Structure 1
Amino acid sequence: MKIQIEKEKLQAAYKNACGCVKDAFEKLFGEDVLETAKPTLDDYKTIKSYEDACDVLGLSPILSENRNKALCAQFPDHYDFRQNMPKHIIALMKLEIISRALWGKSFEPEPDAEGNKIYWYPWFALYTKDEVDRMSDEERKSLCGALFGGAGHGAYAGFGYLTADGRSSDSGADIGIRLCQETEEKAAYFGRQFIELWAEYLAYGFKVTEHLK
């Protein structure tokens, strides 16, 4: 019987293993296969965690109340005032750092008065069509009110827009360009790779399930 294992998942398991478990991994697969590429600004796909983003940008990570043992060992005497902030604010701060790292060395989004540039932002489907179809009328109305009650300001990611109730000279940055990427592919990676942080930031209280990934 042949078992196929995704390389990234294998590397993640090896990274979290310890002692004899790591030894077993190395004997089975070899160290060359198990070692992940070091995070770099030259390849956004090597940035797989918030800590990776901090590493490539030369920043110290935010230490939250749930900081892991590795960070405790690295910064044993460090107190971060931000650990008392609401979780969704800390998540946003982390996402902004990750976004900056994903931009790489040569890219930084800038306001475009002519509207010629396109920037991309992760967009999430919180419910599938089947899930919505299975809801009662009351549940569906409640959901629509919660999700779309303020939709007039929910989809602007730029610095200028034209709508039926606003002139082209109006200015808005409801989402914020700091979380935008220059390509659709990179924005999709930003959303999928860091889905847990996005869920915490957006504070919808939804669970990260397979259809979101």
Structure 2
Amino acid sequence: MKQPELKEIKAAYEVADENGKSILRALYPEVFTQSEETDNRPVTERIKTFEDACNALGNHALVNQYRRIAEEQNPPMDETANDLVVYLKLRIVAAALNEGWTPDWGNKDEYKWYPWFYILTQEEYDDLDDEEKCRVVGRAGFGTNANGGLVYSSADNVSSTSNTGSGARLAFKSKELALYCGKQFGELWASFLVG
């Protein structure tokens, strides 16, 4: 039997669902561990979706754990554990956006950033005038649903305050990445923070 060529394997991977991708990674690990051509675009242009983050990390412990918990667990997790899955998704996104950087919590001179949100009901959000929305939401944000939710606000430096605003593992190496993650992955943040 003829072995599929590299381009055929990659073509199949691009159209496969998550189960199919898992099978292809298991059958052809050498294909998916080879280094791809370097994509020199900024990380914020390469990571637009959760799947982009998974693909960027490749065979990473967080991605593998996510797949075991969210995709392969039998019986599947119920809604009471959804926050665990969403947290793991945010960990994957943070790892992909940080491109290998991890915070050094022993270094007080290293800034660590995280997105900051206001929690508003839809009615509260709708009652804001345009200037207030701009101040509260920042230059870009996401709206809330009818049951209330999260409005993206800004980014803050983790070590500049004494309160706990974000999990240490969801810190970013720059203010720009924290702002981007808060805007681009707002629905994940909302699901994690307020359900």
Q: Which has the larger radius of gyration?
A: 1
- The structure in which a higher percent of residues are helix is 2
| TM-score (norm. length: structure 2) | 0.49
| TM-score (norm. length: structure 1) | 0.46
- The structure in which a higher percent of residues are strand is 2
